[in-house]
Amino acid sequence: MLRIANNKVVIRGAGDLATGIACRLHRSGFKVLMLELEKPLVIRRTVAFASAVWEKEYTVEGIKAVKAEQIEDIYHIWEKEVIPVMVDPEARILNFIKPGILVDAILAKKNLGTSRKMAPITIGLGPGFEAGVDVDVVIETKRGHNLGRLIFQGRAEENTGIPGEVMGYARERVLYAPADGVIHNILDIGEKVQKGQTIAYVDKEPVIASIDGVLRGLIRNETQVSKGLKIGDIDPRGVKEYCFTISDKARALGGSVLEAILFLREKLD
């Protein structure tokens, strides 16, 4: 265990990137609590602890997360060296549990209420935060040379709306809802897809693959979605294993969050 006064970390969000961070911190000896929506809009469900909201418990790369219904559950889950996940998008639990660190990993491209008052150390991922104002440190999330860079003054790069390239594909590899409605999945994560193949329907509107590859992410079946919402992800590399393991990006961000915590902790001590 790390010798620190308060090793409790609250992570807002429990998607795939937040999960990569949680795994890194959990293995490093921190007590991690993750907060999610009642109906998470998670794409990479197979590597996201948000799945514990539906399944009650979920394991990613040998690390288990369990849904916590009440405050007492959090402590019981921690005693078992497991990660609790609680439905609490507004972070009201902070009125009862005082963490040493708060990480905003919602990746909403805007600040949904995180402030430096929430914990002695606060970290924000991606656009929407200003270091020194909203949080202590901002971490760059855009793929490229600066991925994972710690920003102590200023902001991360603005969201361009264009996904990062994989094998030369950017927007083509992402699936968006063609209409408002309820999604009905035909394929599942890990299945191979071909360009032009129907992956799902939003009500009666088909969701069509633009490239060949493997279905790396797909929003949960029968979720209510809005037109233009990101609902899926095709990996043109076609490696099925990548659908069920933490991504390179998530691992990089996990390392950056750990670095930020240790650096700021040293300054506070």
Per-residue pLDDT tens digits for 5-30: 589 999 999 999 999 999 999 999 99
Q: 229: domain CATH number?
A: 2.40.50.100
Shared-domain flag, residues 143 and 198: no
Closest CA to 9 of 80, 105, 76: 105
Confidence of residue 170 (pLDDT cuts 50, 70, 90): confident
Per-residue pLDDT tens digits for 77-97: 999 999 999 999 999 999 999
Q: Is residue 55 part of a domain?
A: yes
Confidence of residue 138 (pLDDT cuts 50, 70, 90): very high
- Number of structural domains the chain divides into: 2
Shared-domain flag, residues 189 and 263: no
Q: Is residue 83 part of a domain?
A: yes
pLDDT over threshold 90, residue 114: yes
CA–CA gap between residue 139 and residue 121 (Å, rounded): 14
Question: What are the b/e assignments for 17-56, b being 16+ CB within 10 Å?
Answer: bbbbbbbbbbebebbbbbbbeeebbbbbbbbbbbbbbeee
Measured between alpha carbons, how far is residue 94 from residues 25, 26, 55, 156 in Å?
19, 19, 24, 26
- Cβ atoms of 223 and 40 within 8 Å: the answer is no
CA–CA gap between residue 258 and residue 241 (Å, rounded): 26
Shared-domain flag, residues 254 and 228: no
Question: Domain range holding 225?
Answer: 171-236
pLDDT over threshold 60, residue 4: no
Shared-domain flag, residues 98 and 212: no
pTM summary value: 0.94
Shared-domain flag, residues 37 and 154: yes
Least confident of 161-165, 231-235, 247-251: 161-165
Shared-domain flag, residues 228 and 257: no
Per-residue pLDDT tens digits for 204-221: 999 999 999 999 999 999
Enclosing H/E stretch for 17: helix 16-27
Shared-domain flag, residues 215 and 115: no
Shared-domain flag, residues 131 and 177: no
Q: Is residue 1 part of a domain?
A: no
Q: Is residue 242 part of a domain?
A: no
